[in-house]
Amino acid sequence: MSKADRTRQFIIETSAPIINKKGMAGTSLSDIMEATKLAKGGIYGNFENKEEICTESFLYLRSQLAAKLDAAVAQGISAKAKFINLLEAYGDDKNTVGGCPILNFGVEADDTNPIIKEYVKKSIHSAQRRFATLIENGVANNELSSKINPEHFAIKVFAMIEGAILCREILNTNEQMNIVLDSIKTEFETYVL
């Protein structure tokens, strides 16, 4: 990796948690300069504009989150263990500084930034696909009942978790997350063979 690539990556990794927490509109160039200790020219020598920094920050946060979730799934042997590990990874309130980047960037970009909106859309589908694939494999391996609809269950689980993440961030409590995760586990258990 060249020095320019390292500097660019440093700016992304340093800016990402700030943008995730303060929002794209709420994060100023001064915030990025202060965090990175780089001058304006040092930042704009590596990025065309703040929007590019925001886009790259989202992609970085998304990849970090996906790696964490994939690692949680990989630690399980059975479909049930993989599913529970995945739920617990989502339930971890130390997931990402400022909350879930899919939720944060998605809410801000839905009407204002079509590029990031498209990336968030792909991330939602990927997250839902992670759940659906796990369930499909469980059905194929006779670990889960064929009565479960993998796609529908995955959509419901993802939407419930994202809602609980929002409640956790606003209310500063895990109460809603714990209730949602317990409810999902209880329903999932009805499909375990």
pLDDT, tens digit only, all 193 positions of the chain: 888 889 999 999 999 999 999 999 999 999 999 999 999 999 999 999 999 999 999 999 999 999 999 999 999 999 999 999 999 998 886 656 678 999 999 999 988 899 999 999 999 999 999 999 999 999 999 999 999 999 999 999 999 999 999 999 899 999 999 999 999 999 999 999 9
Rounded distance between C-alpha atoms, residue 37 and residue 47, angstroms? 16
Residues 6+ apart with CB under 8 A from 134: 73, 79, 82, 83, 86
- pLDDT score for 110: 87
Secondary structure (DSSP) of 58-79? HHHHHHHHHHHHHHHHHT-SSH
- pLDDT score for 96: 62
CB 185 within 8 A of CB 84: yes
Rounded distance between C-alpha atoms, residue 85 and residue 96, angstroms? 17
* Amino acid, single-letter form, for residue 80: K
Burial-class residue 164 by CB neighbours within 10 Å (0-12, 13-18, 19+). Answer: buried
CA-CA distances (angstroms) from residue 105 to 16, 42, 69?
11, 25, 19
Domain boundaries, the chain: 58-189
- pLDDT score for 91: 85
CB 154 within 8 A of CB 129: yes
Closest CA to 129 of 179, 180, 73: 73
Rounded distance between C-alpha atoms, residue 152 and residue 16, angstroms? 32
Q: Looking at domain 58-189, what is its CATH homologous superfamily?
A: Tetracycline Repressor, domain 2 (1.10.357.10)
Q: 């194929």: which residue's tokens?
A: 140
Secondary structure (DSSP) of 67-113? HHHHHHHHT-SSHHHHHHHHHHHHH-TTSSTTS-HHHHHHHHHTTT-
CB 47 within 8 A of CB 53: yes
- pLDDT score for 143: 98
Whole-prediction pTM: 0.92
- pLDDT score for 141: 97
Rounded distance between C-alpha atoms, residue 163 and residue 160, angstroms? 5
CB 182 within 8 A of CB 171: no
- pLDDT score for 151: 98
